[in-house]
Structures are given as structure tokens and as C-alpha cells.
A and B are shown apart, each in its own frame.
Chain A
Amino acid sequence: MAAEGKSIDALSQFELGTVLGPFGASVNFTQSNLHMVIVAGLILALLHYGMRARALVPGRLQSLAETSYEFIHNMVTEQIGDAGKRYFPFVFTLFMFVLFGNMLGLFPYAFTFTSHIAVTFALAAMVFVLITVVALMLHGKKFFGYFFPEGAPLWLAPIIVPVEIISYLSRPISLSIRLFANMVAGHVMLKVFATFIVMLAGLGVAGPFLSLLPLTINVALVGFEVLVAFLQAYVFAILTCIYLHDAVHLH
């Protein structure tokens, strides 16, 4: 896959292919879907086995499960307020799914499903539909007042209303592009420097020593990617909370 001949092939890692032989091929079950199932299984396993002990002084797994639970619980109540508790399951699921997807993608041979705009946009569209439905359910027609701030001169309405509507519609786009672009950029960089290692290593006597340079960079990049993987899941979750806050309080 990498460094065949003298070219750098950084994008083939995002190609989809079916897995599970003829069964997968007949229903288009790709490695992206497979990794989503794995991620869902990992999250369930973490919460199930982590919380099975129910110890007062938690062990490692229980600590991890409790920390992630409380992290999102605090985020939801801080951002939305007490009324936000009922959206906690949604935000928690979203956060864990994105976080585990990002992290799993860093393992060798694993596929990063969050590096596909189709996946991230589907998640963002879900958030968008939810915030719109919540706002409409809680506020009815008053929701449309959201697009025109009180106290603005009426003759400005033809400008303000379309701009506000576009700004509102751009939420799922920016939400999905941010996650997708971060993951793609990170994985492309990893792949490019990994290819440099292989290419430089074949450069005669000095090659193996020269290839230490991109190897160093890649080690640092992997650490950086772990940070980005967490940060992007966090940003995704907190923006969902902020949008839900807007939907619940309309301000």
C-alpha cells in the first residue's frame, strides 16, 4: 500500500472495501461499518465490565467508565443547565462514538470511520435535526423569532433573516467538516512521513540513519494525533451542547 515505487500514496488508506467475504460484499458491509460495530462493542464492554464491580474505590476500568460519564454529565449540565440532563444519553453516545472512532483509527491496520465526510455529516445532521425539533417542540412558533433579533430595525429584516438562516444551516456543515478534516489531515501526515521512512531507508548506506528523522516526527505525530482525537470528540460534544443550549433557551 505504502511507498510502492517512488510515489507517496497517502489517500488509499481511506478507500472503502467490503469485509467478511461474500456475505459482506452482498450487503456492502465495509471495513468502516465493521469498525463502527467494533467501537459500539468496545463502548458497551467498557461500560458493562467497568461498572460490574461497582466498587466504592474504583479500579482502572471502572474509573475510566466513571470519568467519561461524569465528564459528559458535567459538560451537559454546565452548558445547558438542569434541563439538559435529558439530552445526556444522546451527547454521551455521540461523544463516546466519535472518541472511540478517532482513537481506534490510530491503531495500525485500523480504519478511521470519522475520516469520511459521509459519517461525520450523518452525525452532524442528526444533531441538527435534534436541535431543530427540540426548539420547535419547546418554543413552537417563537423558534422563528430566533432568526430575527428583537430590537433590530424592521427594514434590516431582508438582510438579517437570510444571514441568520444561513448561519443556522451552516452549523452541521462546520461540525462535520471540522472533525472530518482534522482526521484526514492527521492520517495523511502520518502516512506521508511513514512513507518517507521507507523511501529514505532504501537510500544506500546513509539511508537508515536519515530515516530516523521522519521516524522521530512520526512518533511525535502519533502523540499529537491522540490529542487531536480527544480534542475533536470534545469539540463535537461541546458544540452539540451549545447548540442544545440555544435550542432550549433560544438565546
Chain B
Amino acid sequence: MSKQDGFDKRLNEARARQGLDRAAGNAGPPGGSWGVGYRAGVEVFSALVVGVVVGLLLDRWLGTWPWLFLLMFVMGSAAGVLNVFRLFKPRGMKRD
């Protein structure tokens, strides 16, 4: 139906006239500079939480307090930095 009477074409023309179709190409995380900073903070924090919890659980299981905790804390920080790097990595770059 829409193809026969050229409805799509007319609709697109009308949308373009009204400026409804924003130019595509605003990649990256939404939310402005505060939002980006906040997201980076959350990424670091959550990686640290996981690292610390995993370290504590392993220590409790293996009885090696505090060594695995310390090790996993460092690993968690590294994972946090990795998360932030992935957040700002331009889209389309291959995961490495």
C-alpha cells in the first residue's frame, strides 16, 4: 500500500521539511560530561566490588587471608580500568 502511492517518500520529505530526522552520528554514551564521568565511576566501582568479593570468598574457602584478597583487589582495579577503556573506545574498533 505505502509503496504504491509513494507514501513513504512523501512522509520522508515532510519529515525532512520539519527537521524531524536528526542527523545520525552522535555516537558515544549519552548524558553529557557528567553522565560520562558518572558511568566511568560506576564501571570502576563495580569492578572493584567484584574483585574484592571474589577475593574474600576465595580467601574464606582456601584460608589464605589476606593474600588472595589483595591480589584480587589489584585485579579488580585492572578490570575497572579495562571497563573504562571499553567505555571510551570508539565503536567499531575490534575487541582486543
Chain A interface (Cβ < 8 Å from any Cβ of B): 149, 159, 162-164, 166-167, 169-170, 173-174, 177-178, 181, 231, 234-235, 246, 251
Contacts and interface: CB of A to CB of B under 8 A. Distances in A.
B43 interface: yes
A163 B75 contact: yes
Prevailing SS type, chain B contact patch: helix
A39 B32 CA distance: 29
A170 B95 contact: no
Contacts of A173: 46-47, 49-50
A173 B82 CA distance: 15
A170 B75 contact: no
Contacts of B50: 166, 169-170, 173
Contacts of A231: 30-31, 35
B47 A167 contact: yes
Contacts of A246: 95
Interface of B: 29-31, 35, 38-39, 42-43, 45-47, 49-51, 54, 72, 75-76, 78-80, 82-83, 86, 94-96
B31 A166 contact: no
A177 B45 contact: yes
Contact of A235 (B30, B47, B82): B30
A149 B75 CA distance: 17
A188 to B, nearest CB: 15
A163 B29 CA distance: 23
B95 A149 contact: yes
18 contacts: A149-B95, A159-B75, A162-B75, A163-B78, A163-B82, A166-B50, A166-B51, A167-B82, A169-B54, A170-B80, A173-B46, A173-B49, A173-B50, A174-B83, A177-B42, A178-B38, A235-B30, A246-B95
B79 A166 contact: yes
A34 to B, nearest CB: 29
Contacts of B45: 174, 177
